[in-house]
Every structure is written in structure tokens, then in C-alpha cells.
Amino acid sequence: MGERVLPRAERRRRTEEKILDAARSLFGELGYERATIRGVARRAEVDPALVMQYFGSKQELFQRSVRMAPAPDGELGPDEVVEHVLGSLGMKLELPEGSLAMLRSMLTHPEAAESARQMLGGQIGRLAEALPGEDARLRATLMTLTLLGITVGHQLLEMEELRGVRQEELARLLRPSLRALTGQDVP
């Protein structure tokens, strides 16, 4: 029947990706502690020992599941940066599964917390460059954490108040609020 025979290299690649997909989704649903190697293996339709053989340890599997390409950055003005941030961190429904796994675990798994700090720090740094004023970095932090809070409430806590709310609606309500954090006062 439909079972094709694959060369070894290709077969290995597919199995590894199948495990990584299962790991990303399970870590994203349950967090680092509750997600088990056995559970990942079951979801990937594979033996638990194979997961160990491929990734060495649960810790390394998690790291591989979470690693992502860093966002490309370009020079922006203080106004464009608001639009950029509105379209970037989390608001979009297409938040990659790897990020979800990292966010889910960041409060209870020290290594995930470090990854989160790095990712947020990157975002903050890029934002701060585009903002004027003395406390640009502090304001960039507050903007980033604002988006983090909404992402947490929406994607992880699944608050009913945000269920089915369109992205543009959120952007419309949030835009004045974020502009107020840019520091280019118009009082």
C-alpha cells in the first residue's frame, strides 16, 4: 500500500522532524515538567528510547524544540516601531509552536526563563534603538512586557474575553497606548 521505502538518510531526517514536532506541541501544551519523553514518543509514534538516542536528554530535546531564527531587524523610526511591535510579538495567531513551548515553560523552568529573557531582551534592544529620550530602554521594556502580557492572556491562559477578537481590533485599541510609551510627548 502507500508505504514507500525511503533511503536511510531521508528516513532519519523525517523521524527527527516528527519527534521535534511532537515535542514542540507537547511542550507547548503542558510545559517542560508535565511533558514527558514517553508522551512525546507516543505522539510521534516512536519508541521512547529512540527519542533519547536522537537528542541525548530531555533538556537537549527541549532546547532543540525551542530554538528559532532570531527576527530580522532594520532601522526604524519611533512611529513605525509601534506598528512593528503590534505585528510581531504574539498578537498574530501564527505564533510559532517553538515560542509557545518556551513561553509556557518560562515561569517554572529556569532554562526556558533564560531563553525568554534573551528573546525579550533582543526585542527590547531593537525597540530602544528606535526610541528617543533618556529612558528609552525602560520604555521599550514596558512596551515589550505589555505585549507579553496580552500574549500570555490570549495564547496561554486562553481568557474568554480575548477569544475570537480580531487582530486588527486589538491593534486599534492598543495603538494609542503603545504610542504613549514611545516618549515623543504631545501633551
Partner DNA sequence: CTTTTCGCTCAACGTTCGTTGACTCAACGA
Partner DNA sequence: TCGTTGAGTCAACGAACGTTGAGCGAAAAG
Query: What distance in Å separates the CA atoms of residue 88 and residue 74, rounded to the nearest whole number?
Result: 14
User: From the CB of 1, what's the least distance to DNA, in Å?
Assistant: 14
Q: Which residues bind a second copy (CB under 8 A)?
A: 30-34, 103-108, 113, 116-117, 120-121, 124, 135, 137-139, 141-142, 144-150, 152-154, 156-157, 159, 161-162, 165, 169-170, 173-174, 176-181
Residues contributing to the site for DNA (CB under 7 A): 5, 7-9, 11-12, 15, 35-39, 46-50, 52-53, 56-59
Which does residue 68 bind out of a second copy, DNA, none, counting CB within 5 to 8 angstroms by kind? none
Whether 105 contacts 59, CB under 8 Å:
no
| Residue 153 beta carbon to a second copy: minimum distance, rounded to whole angstroms | 4
Assess contact for 124 and 140: CB atoms under 8 A: yes
**Residue 151, CA distances (Å) to 91, 92, 157, 166 in order:** 6, 9, 9, 14
Contacts of 148 (CB under 8 A, 6+ apart): 89, 90, 120
| Nearest distance in Å: CB 164, a second copy | 11
The C-alpha atoms of residue 13 and residue 8 are separated, in whole angstroms, by 9
46 binding partner (options a second copy, DNA, none; Cβ < 5 to 8 Å by kind): DNA
Q: What is the SS3 assignment for 153?
A: helix
The listed partner (a second copy, DNA, none) that binds 138, CB under 5 to 8 Å by sort, is a second copy
Q: Smallest distance from the beta carbon of 25 to DNA, in angstroms?
A: 15
